[in-house]
Amino acid sequence: MFDAFTSQDVRHFLLAFALAIFGLIFTTVMAKRARKNMGPQHVGFAEKHEFDGRVSWHCVWMEMAKLLAKGRSCDPRLKVGCVIVSADNTRVFGLGYNGSWAGGPNEPESLQPGKSGFVHAEVNALIKCDFHTPAEKIMYVTHSPCIDCARYIINARISAVYYDQEYRDLSGVELLKNAGIYTAKMSSIVKYDEPQTEIS
């Protein structure tokens, strides 16, 4: 699906990504200033470690997934984006969004849930992933995986899955957890840089 990318598409995506990161940095700095005026009752889990003002990698990768969904998916009902990265946050292994096959029509077969005919974002990211590199792989996806995608994720030996919104069917999340894959909703984790001991 990425064969149709043009240099202009790449420039637009990089510009949108840079603007999103700038917005995250600005919001994070303002939140840090606001916390200085809050009493101890407002101190939450994020303050258990020293906060140095940087946007967490969790937010960086999830924003990238959201941009893929918003900027590339042609599904009018549900736009999903997915990013697979190394656990040390130094490499991007795969990108994907829900859409047609390479060169296929950019219109869903149906607007009914589950019948769009589009390839899911997780699958598109997984088929592009470099599995020759023996590195722990983490997936960030805008919506929690369906049951079928969960099976692919397990077989691909993804170490952890972070999602932003819940899919209508949470059986995929339950399967991932039962298979021993750390799975968490973004709102339930710390969004500031701190040791990622939960995925070790």
Catalytic residue among 122, 136, 166, 198: 122
Averaged pLDDT for residues 68-87? 91
Which residue, 138, 149, 127, is CA-closest to 64? 138
Is 141:80 a contact under the CB 8 Å cutoff? yes
Indicate the pLDDT class of residue 3, thresholds 50, 70 and 90.
low
Look up 122 and say whether it is catalytic: yes
Specify the pLDDT at position 4.
59
Please tell me the predicted confidence (pLDDT) of residue 193.
Answer: 43
Distance CA 189, CA 61 (A): 14
Q: Distance from CA of residue 9 to its chain's centroid?
A: 20
pLDDT digits (tens, 9 = 90+) for 44-54: 223 333 456 78
Mean pLDDT of the chain: 79
Question: What is the predicted pLDDT for the residue at 74?
Answer: 86
Average confidence (pLDDT) over 63-84: 91
Q: What pLDDT shows up at residue 139?
A: 97
pLDDT at 175 > cutoff 70: yes
Q: Is the pTM of this model over 0.85?
A: no
Burial readout 154-191 (b: 16 or more C-beta within 10 A, e: otherwise): bebebbbbbbbeebeeeebbebbeeeebbbbeeeeebb
